[in-house]
Structure 1
Amino acid sequence: MFRIVYYQPCIPPNTGNAIRIAANTGCELHLIEPLGFTMTDTQVKRAGLDYHEMANVTVHPDLETAWTVLAPERVFAFTAHATRFYTDVDYRPGDVLLFGPEPTGLPDEVLSDTHITDQLRIPMLPDRRSMNLANATSVALYEAWRQNGFDGAV
């Protein structure tokens, strides 16, 4: 399945929602520290409901440690500044979908990391900064999963 990576997430409910997304799709969720909250934060727990035990969540101290663990073949960084749409990719199981924190997005040093295969964007109307992180994750992840026949779904 696919692997979701949140680089230094700050908003607890978005990570809680990502836990639900991961549990419902069979994806791994990887969080890169520092986090803007603790995993025991009430808002993370509330947004994740009872899905915490069903999700595969790993917290990494930094991005390099995550790359070592993930050993990714392909990493797609999502940024509002990309020229290619998220639908322009033929996704494969094992792909990493990398998202940055709200409200700043991925910093330049992450976007220029040698592990990044491509930068992708989700289209929006002009003069809009970004989508909600969990919503953007859902949009991209469900496209990748759709392309792969919703493997494992009922």
Structure 2
Amino acid sequence: MTLKVALFEPEIPQNTGNIARLCAGTDVELILIGKLGFSLSDKYLKRAGLDYWEYVTLHKVDTLEQFFSQFPDNIYEYAFLSKFGEKYYTEIPLSDNIITIFGNESSGLPEMIRDRFMDRLYRIPMNDKIRSQNLSNSVAIVLYDILRRNNFGGLF
């Protein structure tokens, strides 16, 4: 199984650094889509990822169109995470090639994505007291559930 995490226009370098560290420790590729709210040389990004950046397989694409072109849905199973999803993240189907796609910290995924891929929107259950979970926590929750269901994909 090939598993990738994609972040759409992430804004907070510490979140992206934490996610990069998670990806390094699980052999999961990281895709950054669109405009970033920080520089890839940002000191907070580097500190959050510690000295693990060399172990991250990182792809940067400039637009959603470029993402869809480089990672087409006839090859990859897309799983978009959104508070608007009607299915739980535990229902993400296991396939040979999965990409979990997360929106940014302030506005989530674009409405166009939510409309186009409504059948592939998944959510993390939570009460109505908060707007959303922290991005890096959300990625960890979803990523480790998929890995668990795949017997941790050779991790030890």
Deviations 1:46-90 (A, max 9, x none): 000011000001110111111221223311110112111111233
TM-score (norm 1): 0.93
Counterpart in the other structure of 1:31:
32
Q: Which residue of 81, 86, 89 corresponds with 1:86?
A: 89
Give the CA deviation at 1:149: 0.6
**Normalized per residue, which structure has more helix?**
2
Counterpart in the other structure of 2:79:
76
Residue pair 1:22, 1:29 contacting (<8 A) in 2 also: yes
Letter in 2 for 1:68: S
Alignment of 1:88-127 (within 5 A): 88-113=91-116, 118-127=120-129
RMSD: 1.4
Give the CA deviation at 1:94: 1.4
Residue pair 1:92, 1:148 contacting (<8 A) in 2 also: no
Residue pair 2:79, 2:92 contacting (<8 A) in 1 also: no
Q: 1:81 to 1:16 in 2, by over 3 A?
A: same
Are 2:133 and 1:131 aligned?
yes
Letter in 2 for 1:60: V
Give the CA deviation at 1:103: 1.8
TM-score (norm 2): 0.92
Deviations 1:8-44 (A, max 9, x none): 1101001101110110111110001200001000110
Give the CA deviation at 1:111: 1.8
Residue aligned with 1:124, SS:
coil
Are 2:153 and 1:151 aligned?
yes
Q: What 5-or-longer segments of structure 2 have no aligned partner? A: none
Residue pair 1:75, 1:117 contacting (<8 A) in 2 also: no
Identity %: 33
Q: Distance in 1 between matches of 2:94 and 2:83?
A: 19
Give the CA deviation at 1:92: 2.3
Q: Report the number of matched residues.
A: 153
Counterpart in the other structure of 1:64:
65
Give the CA deviation at 1:130: 0.5
Counterpart in the other structure of 1:54:
55
Q: What 5-or-longer segments of structure 1 have no aligned partner? A: none
Give the CA deviation at 1:117: 5.2
Letter in 1 for 2:140: S
